Amino acid sequence: MLEKAAAALGRIVPRASRELHDWCRHREFPGNIRELEGLLADAVLRHQGGELSPPDLGVATGEQLAATALNAADPALVDLIARLPQLPTVREAEHLLIQEALHRFGGNQTLAARMLGMSRTTLSKWMRRKA
């Protein structure tokens, strides 16, 4: 799951500590396996190096994740925007960002919404409007 999350986020796969393996093995995930996938994706997104351990799986808000993602991509994003002959409209940019997030997470709306700093409900409403 760490490899899948790292690939989707364009990040290096972090090493999982023994404690993380034990924690995952002994924790119940009443929501289903997607809960664990979401926790691991959040941790990969915020990971700064070294081993990944249970404290690294603290649940982050959508705002924190969005800020982390923006700060991590900021220089490349600024360079990309500077090279565009014409800026997309806000609606076009919104559509492109949401489609890219959904693509990166294989259609998983919960993870895409977290990466974009919005709630799952907001993303679902957006998708219904576009359908």
Mean pLDDT, the chain, whole residue set: 78
Asked whether 91 and 83 are in contact (CB, 8 A), the reply is no
* 70 within 8 A of 84, measured Cβ to Cβ: no
With a cut of 70, say whether residue 16 has pLDDT above it.
yes
Here the tokens at position 22 are 């034990």
Structural domains in the chain, sorted by start: 1-59 (no CATH), 60-131 (1.10.10)
Q: What is the pLDDT of residues 53-71, one digit of tens each?
A: 877 776 333 444 445 555 5
Question: Considering only 12-16, 26-30, 86-90, 94-98, which range has the smallest mean pLDDT?
Answer: 26-30
- Which residue type, as a one-letter code, is found at position 64? Q
- Report which secondary-structure segment, H or E, holds 52: strand 51-52
Q: How far lies 115's CA from each of 30, 60, 65, 98, 130, in Å?
A: 23, 11, 6, 10, 20
Identity of the residue numbered 119: S
User: For the chain, what's the residue count?
Assistant: 131
Please tell me which of 9-18, 21-30, 71-80 the model is most confident about, judged by mean pLDDT.
Answer: 9-18
105 Cβ contact partners less than 8 Å away, ≥ 6 residues apart: 8, 41, 111, 112, 115
> Beta partners for 16?
52
